[in-house]
Structure 1
Amino acid sequence: MGLTSSFGRQLAPKIGQLAPNVTSRAVLEAFNRAVDGIGPLPGAAAAAEKQLAEQKGNVERAIHEVIENNVRLAGGQGFATNLGGLITLAVALPANITGLALIQCRMIAGIAHLKGHDLDNPRVRNAVLATMLGEDQVNGLIKNKKLPGTPMALATAPVLDETLSVLLAGEVATFLISKVAGKRLATMAGRRIPVVGGVVGAGADGYSTWRAGRYADRELLPRNRR
């Protein structure tokens, strides 16, 4: 995974030209759809509450199910958007990135809801976006003074930085472009069989989503549920 991520970071500026619609605005729109629901997918809070009911009020088990359900969704879209070769790259790459953003936003927002955080609170929304970056990326941004604190610190900040959501959404867009593009191009460079790309894409997106969910579970501490 390290080699693939490095490959993606090197290619991100060029790949960004293939995914011009994957911007901070697109990530924020994905967040809104993840919270509100889209098509057959219920919103983050509704999906999380369903799992909580199925687990008879056990928050820990409900969070586990939220993660597992979204890992499966991520794997499915990762398989579908990584089946083709270079000829499908310009279409499949943006779809893979925005799909992954929607699924991971929905999962992390659901975990935040189960931990008692108010998804209507812009501080919590910033925390969800920050969590999507993963622990290493968050720590790097804090070290470089681009981020004032951890996701939990953002969720409970006494003062709202109204510029932070756009900054975080831009970081998430760049992060996902690097990750997805690196995975896809490294796979195609080494393997010419399309179905292999689908299998690798499913595994990579599923694993990435699982890691994001585990980080959210560790980082977002419980608050009193209303």
Structure 2
Amino acid sequence: MAGVARFVASSLAPAAQRFAPQAAAGILRQVLEIAIDGYQRFPGAEKIAETKLARSDDDVAVAIEAVIDQHIRLAGVQGFVTSIGGLVTLPVALPANLTGLAIVQARMVAAIAHLRGYDLGDPRVRTAVITCLLGEDGVTDRLKKSNLPTSPLGIATAPVFDPELDRLVAGEVVGELIARVSGKRMAITVTRRVPLLGGVVGGGVDGWSTYRIGQYADKSLVRRIRRPIEP
């Protein structure tokens, strides 16, 4: 079953090509704005981070663990990503499930970045947050193939913001997200004949991918001295 899911995911990944680079960047920009600023009953990344930090007696490591745990639960709740706070009605050119999950995972990574001292208003940091959604395997694979020039940390701490890199990352991330959802749908379809199993698989896949991304962001976005953007 896992092999079939991977095959379908890789086969459908080229569907992302229908998004021009600027269109993909626009989609991810919407996702990031909601993740960082919040939307209706969905608090933004900074608020979540500060709440967890206060409850952790200002222990950043504990706060980050709490942020990851919270978002694993949110991602794993069946139906959450298509119903919270009106997210399903957002004018984002992605399926509702994919949009919701991307927002949940982006908020988690952005909260981790904030706790590590990064400025979420810095466009370099925002590109790095989106890059983390590829996960460790996705970033490593693209670095080997030269589809990415550097890691999320390298992007966040670059001397200047690179708009072309931002568009490149957006295209890669949108393609990866579409591939993941395609693979998950195949896994759910295969298990649909078993009562409740499809829901367990769907929630489990979302929760596991969120855990992996959270761990990768925690490892990648180490505390750094901020550099101002050069004019």
Where do 5+ consecutive residues of structure 1 fail to align? 82-92
- Give 1:183-198 correspondences, 5 Å limit: 183-193=184-194, 195-198=196-199
Contact 1:123–1:156 (8 Å) recurs in 2? yes
| Equivalent position of 2:56 in the other structure | 55
Contact 1:126–1:154 (8 Å) recurs in 2? yes
Give the CA deviation at 1:195. 3.5
Contact 1:30–1:105 (8 Å) recurs in 2? yes
Q: Residues 80-105 of structure 1, C-alpha deviation per residue, up to 9 Å, x if partnerless?
A: 76xxxxxxxxxxx8111111110010
- Give 1:1-226 correspondences, 5 Å limit: 3=3, 4-13=5-14, 23-77=24-78, 94-193=95-194, 195-223=196-224
Query: Which amino acid in 1 is paired with 2:137?
Result: D
Give the CA deviation at 1:177. 0.9
Q: Percent of aligned positions with the same letter in both sequences?
A: 48
Where do 5+ consecutive residues of structure 2 fail to align? 83-93, 227-231
* SS of the residue 2:77 aligns to: helix
Normalised by the size of structure 1, how large is the TM-score?
Answer: 0.84
Give the Cα–Cα distance (whole angstroms) in 1 for the partners of residues 203 and 36 of structure 2.
24
Contact 1:130–1:168 (8 Å) recurs in 2? yes
1:203–1:58 distance in 2 versus 1, CA, 3 Å:
same
1:2–1:214 distance in 2 versus 1, CA, 3 Å:
farther
Query: Which amino acid in 2 is paired with 1:98?
Result: T
Give the CA deviation at 1:5. 3.2
1:23–1:59 distance in 2 versus 1, CA, 3 Å:
same
| Equivalent position of 2:89 in the other structure | none
* SS of the residue 2:223 aligns to: coil
Give the CA deviation at 1:26. 2.0
* SS of the residue 1:117 aligns to: coil
Give the CA deviation at 1:145. 2.2
Query: Which amino acid in 1 is paired with 2:120?
Result: L
1:70–1:80 distance in 2 versus 1, CA, 3 Å:
closer
1:197–1:16 distance in 2 versus 1, CA, 3 Å:
farther
Q: How much is the aligned-residue C-alpha RMSD, in angstroms? A: 2.4
Which has the bigger relative contact order, CA under 8 A and spacing at least 6?
1
Contact 2:49–2:115 (8 Å) recurs in 1? yes
Give the CA deviation at 1:112. 0.4
